[in-house]
Structure 1
Amino acid sequence: MKKVLILGVAPVQMDAILVLKELGFETFACAMAKDGPGADAADHFHIIDILDIEKVMEHIGKYDIDAVYSVGSDLAMPIASKISEKLLLPYFVSSKTATICNNKERMRQALGRSFEGNIPFQVFEDEKIRPDLKMPFIMKPTDSQGQRGIYLVNSIEEYRENFQTVKEHSRSGKVIVEKYVEGPEISVNLYMIDGKLSFMFVSDRETWPQYLGLVNKHVVPSKTMDREKLKVLEKMVLEACHRIGIMNGPAYFQVKMENGRPYIIEVTPRLDGCHMWKLLTYHTGINILKLTFEHLLNGDTGELDKRKEICFGHELEFFCQKPNTIMDRDRFVVPKDGLEYYFYYESGDEIRPVNGKYDKVGYYIKSQNVPGLQKQQAGREYSFR
């Protein structure tokens, strides 16, 4: 029985642990505190700060662990890749690639200013404003996660008012400002095999209007995209993967469409942090979380052959609540026709701050009738092999 260590114990890491157990692997998990459901889901949990690479490596050696990985965490991916490189364990992307994706400045530089899907940007270490800075723009830390410290800036006053707050969320102390792209948001989940795009599926990413960039729900199939836009998007994400170095395994892109053109907001060489693998399993028949581990540990990509015919749309909607408040499950309505749901907290628990504004406390998935959606092979317009 192979042993797999998952870095982190949040609900998205619990997903990975449960799938690994279903596949017959012995599961280990570590985090700096027992503060997530993955700790109880794993066969073995140990309190270890995942940033302490030497201690994590010592732990891997002690228990003769065969692989280390994570999902839904930008912080964990460079660590998992670096450890795997040092210990000759299996991995999809190099620590260099994982680090590039974990730093918005390096990601923009890797794509290149001439890359059509890139966004004009500037990086600041102090709040001295430059005369060529055009508003409005998005201001955010170069290297944080969880949608922390992100602001839409419309004036010099807003820039100066929020600069230090953004800087405090940046581990490097750098702040990046990017041109504001006006248009609908989409999420792209894809899978690479030896440099080829083997699976791609697009969902509409709906956000809370009062909270910039914070997701409310994901909906498939996308109403934003058509065949021509999908062709442009496919070409763009494939080239982006090649430029950054994502040649194998899953990748997640957050994209905005402006006047029919896609622009990359985020890219990361991992599965997303929104349980999208569940939504896509219902919609396509392909379980990309299962695919990830079978490919990583056994070289098996047969999961890609499990497409099914569909005639319904699907959506995943989050329950959200302000941090540092008390959870009350009764305030949230779970649809009677829902396919599944999950709460991150019990009633009476205090909501831990993640993005610090409006944090996820649970979700549900349901199917929906989509006018004009004919029975078709799942992913015909979105999947490639």
Structure 2
Amino acid sequence: MKALILGTNAGQADIINYLKQNQWEVHACGYRREGPGCDLADKFHLVNIIDVAAVEALALSIQPDIIYSVSSDLAIKTVTTVSEKLGLPHFLNSEIVDLFDHKESFRRFLNENKISDVRFMTLSDLSNLKEWSTFPCVVKPSDSQGQRGVVLVDSAAQLKNAVKNAISKSNTNTAIIEEYLEGIEFSTNVIVQDYKVVVNEFSERYVYGKSYFGLPKGHGLPVRRVSDRDIEVARGMVETMVRKLAIKDAVLYIQMVATKRGPKIIEAAPRLDGCHIWRLIKTAKGYDLREYAIKNLLGKKIEHHSIDRGTYSLYFYQQPTGAIFEEKQYRNSQALVEYQEFRYHDGEKVLPINGQLEVVGYYIIKE
């Protein structure tokens, strides 16, 4: 079997490793030779993952059985478009992928279907700025990936610059303002097969709060600070969303907040997360989301089995953008550390991803 993986970062390295361990021939591509996936793949190709025509031409020359990617919204759009054109296996059609990618469209869908009602508005310029009066609020580009360009705004005086910044970072020059959802953050990795949600695994999301707004410190499993009732409500929200969108097969990552008004959805992505939560789940629950994703993509039935090994957390090693990495300052000597890895070698400069505090590695510990 042969795979073309779009991207070569640490998230893609996880799926490349899985495929290689299962005797796949793996090709990877990116706009420059950077990241651990370059050397892990059988062959690296210098092709920009957002250049649909170039990726299609590469796929025609390689003739892969699948084109795939994890952790990247940009890559998933290209994966879907090229797979549709070439008749290769893919999860969702381009229309649904675009819905997840455009935050205002997705928020409107959630509101109209009474799944997760949150006040919001979209702007392509500053002319209607005075219509927004709810603070604090969150301003973000309508189509950016992850936490790029996401800002917490406490007052009307800060709103103008935040919106201008968000518009500048949006491919469609559009910003979205949403009411700030205060509460405990959590997320779920979801596998849908044959219209049925077969995996809906919730984990707690540890965040910095206002100091590095939106950036995670790590993740915990099981969720400890969200009530069982809220988790059941959130589980129902996922089921309703899948049903309303008539999703047959999919891999989804959904971020939520347990507010005083109940659980609310922050965002959803049609892919596995980029935080290595698959490894946290495998450590704590005994099953591998990477395996499930590939089986699902190939139309092989998933036999889901889960065990309970206890309470685990995944924590990130993090450094400011542009800092020089030194592994010794992050070495964790605790006996309960079950796994750790680093994304950099000594002396390397930490590259900008979110532009604030970058992940340079992570570890998993039994709490």
TM-score (norm 2): 0.95
Number of the residue aligned with 2:107: 108
Q: Distance in 1 between matches of 2:115 and 2:59?
A: 42
Number of the residue aligned with 1:85: 84
- State the secondary structure of the residue aligned to 1:112: helix
Q: What fraction of aligned residue pairs are identical, expressed as a percent?
A: 31
The change in CA–CA distance for 1:22 and 1:118 in structure 2 (over 3 A counts) is: farther
For residues 120-145 of structure 1, give each alpha carbon's deviation from its aligned partner in whole angstroms, at most 9, with x where no partner exists.
11001112313353221100000111
Number of the residue aligned with 1:161: 161
- Equivalent residue letter for 1:264: I
Q: Distance in 2 between matches of 1:288 and 1:118?
A: 30
Q: Distance in 1 between matches of 2:227 and 2:195?
A: 25
Given that residues 338 and 364 in structure 1 are in contact (C-alpha distance below 8 angstroms), is that contact kept between their aligned partners in structure 2?
A: yes
- State the secondary structure of the residue aligned to 1:75: helix
- Equivalent residue letter for 1:279: L
Given that residues 323 and 352 in structure 1 are in contact (C-alpha distance below 8 angstroms), is that contact kept between their aligned partners in structure 2?
A: yes
Runs of 4+ in 1 over 4 A off after TM superposition: none
Number of the residue aligned with 1:33: 32
Number of the residue aligned with 2:238: 237
Displacement after TM superposition at 1:258 (Å): 0.7
The change in CA–CA distance for 1:125 and 1:64 in structure 2 (over 3 A counts) is: same
Q: Distance in 2 between matches of 1:215 and 1:286?
A: 24
Given that residues 79 and 95 in structure 1 are in contact (C-alpha distance below 8 angstroms), is that contact kept between their aligned partners in structure 2?
A: no
- State the secondary structure of the residue aligned to 1:319: strand
Q: Decide which moves more: 268-277 or 293-302.
A: 293-302
Given that residues 321 and 350 in structure 2 are in contact (C-alpha distance below 8 angstroms), is that contact kept between their aligned partners in structure 1?
A: yes
- Equivalent residue letter for 1:267: A
Given that residues 246 and 269 in structure 1 are in contact (C-alpha distance below 8 angstroms), is that contact kept between their aligned partners in structure 2?
A: no
For residues 233-288 of structure 1, give each alpha carbon's deviation from its aligned partner in whole angstroms, at most 9, with x where no partner exists.
11101112233454313211100011161111010111001000000011111111
Given that residues 27 and 41 in structure 2 are in contact (C-alpha distance below 8 angstroms), is that contact kept between their aligned partners in structure 1?
A: yes
Q: Structure 2, unaligned stretches of length 5 or more?
A: none
Number of the residue aligned with 1:322: 320
Q: Decide which moves more: 114-123 or 320-329.
A: 114-123
For residues 317-348 of structure 1, give each alpha carbon's deviation from its aligned partner in whole angstroms, at most 9, with x where no partner exists.
00111111211222224243211111111111
Matched, 1:202 2:220: no
Given that residues 70 and 76 in structure 1 are in contact (C-alpha distance below 8 angstroms), is that contact kept between their aligned partners in structure 2?
A: yes
Q: Decide which moves more: 98-107 or 27-36.
A: 98-107
The change in CA–CA distance for 1:51 and 1:131 in structure 2 (over 3 A counts) is: closer
For residues 40-79 of structure 1, give each alpha carbon's deviation from its aligned partner in whole angstroms, at most 9, with x where no partner exists.
1001110001111111111111121111010000111111
Given that residues 322 and 358 in structure 1 are in contact (C-alpha distance below 8 angstroms), is that contact kept between their aligned partners in structure 2?
A: yes
Number of the residue aligned with 1:372: none
Q: Distance in 2 between matches of 1:118 and 1:16?
A: 35
Matches within 5 A, 1:184-223: 184-209=184-209, 210-223=211-224
Q: Distance in 1 between matches of 2:244 and 2:331?
A: 44
Q: Give the aligned CA root-mean-square deviation in angstroms.
A: 1.5
TM-score (norm 1): 0.91
Displacement after TM superposition at 1:298 (Å): 5.2
For residues 289-311 of structure 1, give each alpha carbon's deviation from its aligned partner in whole angstroms, at most 9, with x where no partner exists.
11111221251413x13x2242x
Given that residues 100 and 107 in structure 1 are in contact (C-alpha distance below 8 angstroms), is that contact kept between their aligned partners in structure 2?
A: yes
Q: Distance in 2 between matches of 1:265 and 1:233?
A: 12
The change in CA–CA distance for 1:243 and 1:133 in structure 2 (over 3 A counts) is: farther
Q: Distance in 2 between matches of 1:335 and 1:98?
A: 42
Number of the residue aligned with 1:342: 341
Q: Distance in 2 between matches of 1:363 and 1:351?
A: 15
Q: Distance in 1 between matches of 2:328 and 2:247?
A: 43
- State the secondary structure of the residue aligned to 2:35: coil
Q: Distance in 2 between matches of 1:365 and 1:83?
A: 36
Q: Distance in 1 between matches of 2:165 and 2:289?
A: 37
Q: Structure 1, unaligned stretches of length 5 or more?
A: 369-385
Number of the residue aligned with 2:174: 174
Given that residues 115 and 241 in structure 2 are in contact (C-alpha distance below 8 angstroms), is that contact kept between their aligned partners in structure 1?
A: no
